[in-house]
Amino acid sequence: GRIKTVITDQKVIAGVGNAYSDEILHVAKLSPFATSNKLTDAQLAALHDAMISVLTDAVTRSVGQGAATLKGEKRSGLRVHARTGLPCPVCGDTVR
């Protein structure tokens, strides 16, 4: 299946939803439409590293946040999710 479908499957990886999957795939430089069983070893390593990086950063930003501010804090750390048509903060290209 598609890599985005695999990493958002709660039976495969619990807790990764739409927003964080977008961020993980962006950091790993992978298309959400890439076929999961065709990823190279290098792509799998990049995906693994991106998962650790994105999720560790999310947890670090969330520590000590009250429930009322948690969603806003999550959004402030997102680079590509819900930013379609806007410039990528990393490379400047349009987020698709």
Give 61-95 pLDDT, tens digit per residue.
Answer: 777 777 666 666 666 677 777 778 888 777 888 88
CA atoms within 13 A on the CB side of 1: 7
pTM to 2 decimal places: 0.80
Contacts of 6 (CB under 8 A, 6+ apart): 12, 36
Fold of 3-76: Helicase, Ruva Protein; domain 3 (1.10.8)
Q: What is the pLDDT of residue 92?
A: 80
Would you state the pLDDT for residue 69?
64
Shortest CA distance to 25 belongs to which of 73, 67, 93, 79? Answer: 79
CA–CA distance from 19 to each of 24, 29, 42, 74, 95 (Å)? 9, 15, 23, 9, 14
Structure tokens at 84: 């379609």
Q: Kindly list the domain boundaries of the chain, sorted by start residue.
A: 3-76
